[in-house]
Structure 1
Amino acid sequence: MSNLIDIFISFSLSQLLLCTVLLLRRPTGHALSEKLFIALLLADAAYLIIPWVSADWARAILYPAQTMVPGLFWLFSYSLFDDHFRLRPWQLIPFIITVVFPTAATFADLGESQIGQLLWFQLPQFIEFVLLGWALKVILAHWQDDLLEQRRNLRIWFSAFIGFYIFALIAAQQLLFPSVEWLAIWQYAPAGVMLFLCNCVLLEFKQDVFYQQAPPVSQANTEIETEPNASKVERPQEQEEIPEEVLDAISQLMEGDKIYREMGLTIGQLAEKIEIQEYRLRRIINAGLGHRNFNDFLNRYRVQEACERLASKTEQDTAVLNIALDAGFRSLSSFNKAFKDSQGMTPTAYRKSQLN
């Protein structure tokens, strides 16, 4: 049986090494999502190496490293699929609970009582499941709004394989089969398969999945001021030509008909109005207008209208909520977030700065 474990772990480590090489092949700096993915790979490496390590000091280092997998998967999913992701101080709290609590309890024998078990072990386990569920929610959220075709496919791959594998492994280890011998051996086989599939993905997917680059200059969006924190991507040279009539139709619907005011407007509905296939419209908005997310594309027009109304003295008594709803936002909170991402300040602060 030990030989079987060695085979599984060796294969998984070889795939992990190849995965790291594929990520580090670029000589320039790396995006935040890529750095988090490398950290996730290091945590996976700790998980794989532990069966080969017998020294207490080494296991004291590797054990907390492997417990970082759920938290790092959560942060990586956020950074990859949320174009407005920023690391926040509060995000360290789940790491402290899921990593420090069980590690300290293991080496200090703090979990002997029932309360100790609940606080130092069961609470971190529960938070790990919350983080994994949160990560899967982020992966599947706004799938239809994603304008990067490869990233849309990546969402399915991540939710169907990696997220489910981590969730099932933790559930089997800690809840369903905590001391079963076959799990101690066969748990490493799926890890190698997951890493192999990950390498296939890294070889296939383009760099714009990880990297956010400057937007192209387009006639259809020169009238709208570039947002300081907007997430966009350059138009690839091999991309198909962008039909001018489609850009004109988009411009008319957005700037003339102000269709962005319709709450819940989907890219499918917009494609029907323009009479074009949905997948082509995704490529045009992404490559021709420089947007990675359809909702961000709509919010640019919505925020522009809100800016004009907030800066108008004739509407200084109009409630911010009314302006937000008129522009097409579903709620004041979503409006505040989109407005701050775009202008770097709240709508109220913007109104004061313009009127004063």
Structure 2
Amino acid sequence: MDKINLLATTSVLTAFISLFLSLLLLTVKTEHKLSNRLFAFSLLLTAVDVIGNLTDFYEIPLAVRVFLSSFVFLQLPTFYLYVLSVCYFDFKLKPKHLIHIVPFVFTNLILLPRFYMVDLISKISFLKNSSRMFEIQLNHISLHIQIIGYLIAAFILIRRTKKIYLENYTGPNMESLNWLFQFTVALSTFYSVALFKNIFKFSSYPELSELLKVGLLIFELVIIFWYLYKALNNPGIFRNVDSKLKSVRNIISEDKSTGGVLVVEKEYSEELLKLKQYMLEEKPYLNPSLTIQDMSKEIKIPVRDLSVLINHKLNQHFYDFVNTYRIECAMDILKDLSKSKLTVLEILYEVGFNSKSSFNTAFKKHTGYTPTEYRKSL
């Protein structure tokens, strides 16, 4: 009885919070409406899935119950589209994205002949023998394939976006990519446990499946709270790169395949000198949102050439290249006795950072010390 009460309580709480957060995402004023709508839809799907766990406490037609359970086939596709919308600021939903609903449609179509279109007694018999039904087995297999495929695709997308971001941007959104990676890891863990739950469900240990179901609901609740905490504390965290940007490796590969030459060595030397002079004299790194496009306009070097110069010839990501100048500037301030009253937070903002964690990470990577340790060592 306690287990049933815990399951019901956790389900109701998870469903309520999912619906509340989805309503918040749909009504809040923001320029990132698509991302919010996609995540709101994902939360609505979660609520529908969770409410399905409460069928022991209220009457619901069998056909409706099964149809609602098939919504799980929309959860990962929606999450993947959400990741796309977060990674690329110019992402838009297009007709081609309707392909992501194919598994959901297929799942319900194969259930038509022997479940949806038969009488109630036949429906009950079908569900009682679900472990031996071809349709159910096929749906379980396709669901697990879908889960693995979408999660791998999400990890690849985040990795590719992170690489492009490092090569073209210096703003705070690196933290959003790191968070998105962590969020995807959490979802991967959730679905891995769900896989074991399903295995035990059709084994001789169904009680383990029930225990895992309760654990998954609690874990799902923790993930939702985590997202809410991140969203409220970092309202501008969810936008990143231009989807048209290519990595330097692809640029060089394309150039070699077409037989072109990007820039001769003499021009590289001239542009490198021009770049370093610009960094020292104009100090563009003090701009916390500096991009390689901004710099390209100022020093009159095409973005393509400048990207190859920094990321390939200097063997540094644009992100690290700019942060090196910021750290050097911060070191000079820390050495200046007349500025000894400045706090680390004031210094990081002054040199172009807008995140204490990214400043500490970059500073330690460059010097081997944290800013506080470095100041004490002087």
For Structure 1 versus Structure 2, the TM-score category normalised by the shorter chain is 0.5 to 0.7
Contact 1:40-1:69 at 8 Å conserved across structures: yes
Is 2:42–2:75's contact at 8 Å kept on the other side of the alignment?
yes
Q: In the TM superposition, what are the counterparts of 1:72-221 in structure 2 within 5 Å?
A: 72-97=78-103, 99-106=104-111, 108-109=113-114, 120-143=139-162, 145-146=164-165, 147=171, 148-161=173-186, 163-175=187-199, 178=202, 179=206, 180-207=209-236, 209=238
- Bigger shift: residues 173-182 or 183-192: 173-182
CA contact (8 A) 2:49 2:69 kept: yes
CA contact (8 A) 1:80 1:210 kept: yes
Q: Please give the alpha-carbon distance, in whole angstroms, between the structure 1 residues aligned to 2:106 and 2:69.
A: 12
Tell me the residue number matched to 2:326.
276
Q: What's the TM-score, normalizing by structure 1?
A: 0.58
TM alignment of 1:271-350, pairs within 5 A: 271=322, 275-277=325-327
- Within the candidate set 47, 61, 69, 1:63 is matched to 69
Unmatched tracts of structure 2, length 5 or more:
116-129, 166-170, 242-279, 286-293, 331-347, 355-378
Name the one with the larger helix percent.
2
Contact 2:26–2:40 (8 Å) recurs in 1: no
Contact 1:33 1:80 in 2 (8 A): yes
- Report how far residue 129 of structure 1 moved: 1.7
2:35 corresponds, among 27, 33, 36, to 33
Q: Secondary structure at the match of 1:55?
A: coil
Indicate the percent of aligned positions where both proteins have the same amino acid. 17
Secondary structure at 2:93 match in 1: coil
Alpha-carbon distance in structure 1 between the residues aligned to 2:178 and 2:93:
25
Gapped regions of structure 1 (runs ≥ 5): 213-242, 287-356
The aligned counterpart of 2:282 is 245
- Using the alignment, how far apart are the partners of 2:29 and 2:91 within structure 1? 24
TM-fit CA distance, 1:117: 6.3
Q: Is the Cα contact below 8 Å between 1:4 and 1:185 reproduced in 2? A: yes
Deviation at 1:268, TM superposition (A): 4.4
Task: State whether residues 254 and 260 of structure 1, in contact with CA within 8 Å, keep that contact through their aligned partners in structure 2.
Answer: no
Specify the code of the residue in structure 2 equivalent to 1:200: Y
Q: Equivalent residue for 2:247?
A: none
Change (3 A) 1:105 1:143: same
Q: CA RMSD in A?
A: 4.0
Task: State which drifts further: 88-97 or 176-185.
Answer: 176-185
After TM superposition, the score normalised by the length of structure 2 is: 0.55
Larger of the two Rg values belongs to structure: 2
SS at match of 1:67: helix
Deviation track 1:268-300 (CA, whole Å, cap 9, x = no partner) reads 45327x73339979x9699xxxxxxxxxxxxxx
Count of aligned pairs: 253
Distance apart, 1:150 and its partner CA: 4.3
Deviation, structure 1 residue 109: 3.4
Rate the CA distance shift 1:76–1:252 in 2: closer, same or farther, 3 A.
closer
* Cα deviations by residue, 1:140-180 (Å, 9 ceiling, x for unpaired): 3332544324423422332332x324432442244465542
Taking the aligned partners of 2:66 and 2:221, their CA distance within structure 1 comes to 24
Deviations 1:6-54 (A, max 9, x none): 1211221232234224323425776211111111011101111002234
Amino acid at match of 2:300: E
